[in-house]
Amino acid sequence: MLPALYDRYTRLIGTDKDFPDLAVGAAMARHDLVTAEVKAADCYVYKQHSVYPACVKLLGYDPLAKGAKAKTPEGQKAFMSKGLEGSLSDLFGGALKPLYSN
C-alpha cells in the first residue's frame, strides 16, 4: 500500500522532494535498498534534518552513526555529498540554500 501511495503522490506532484521519508518507506517496502539509502540521504538535508530520525527507523540503521556507513555504494556516495550540504547549511543557517538544491 505504501508504494502505491508514494507512486500516486509523485505522479500528482511530479517529485518526491517534499516527502523523502515516504520515499524511503516505499523503497524499503519494495526491498530497494539502493533507493532507500539515497532517499535517506535526502532526509538528512530536508528541513534541518527534521525527518531524518523517521528515515533511520525505516531503514533500520543509521548510516551516519559513528563507525557505520550506508550499505550500498550509491548510498555511501549520496550520504557523502548530502552530508557536506547539510553541514554547510547548518553552519550558515540556511543562507546557502539558494546556492544548491536538495
pTM: 0.76
Copy the grid coordinates of residue 63: 548510516
Cβ neighbors of 82 (< 8 A, separation 6 or more) are 41, 42, 44, 45, 102
Average pLDDT of the residues of the chain: 83
**Rg from Cα positions in the chain:** 13
CB 81 within 8 A of CB 74: no
Per-residue pLDDT at 100: 45
- Percentage of the residues of the chain whose pLDDT score is greater than 70: 80
Per-residue pLDDT at 34: 97
- Residue-wise pLDDT for 25-58, tens only, equals 999 999 999 999 999 999 998 888 889 999 999 9
Copy the grid coordinates of residue 80: 557523502
CA distance 81 to 60: 21
Question: Above 50 in pLDDT, residue 18?
Answer: yes
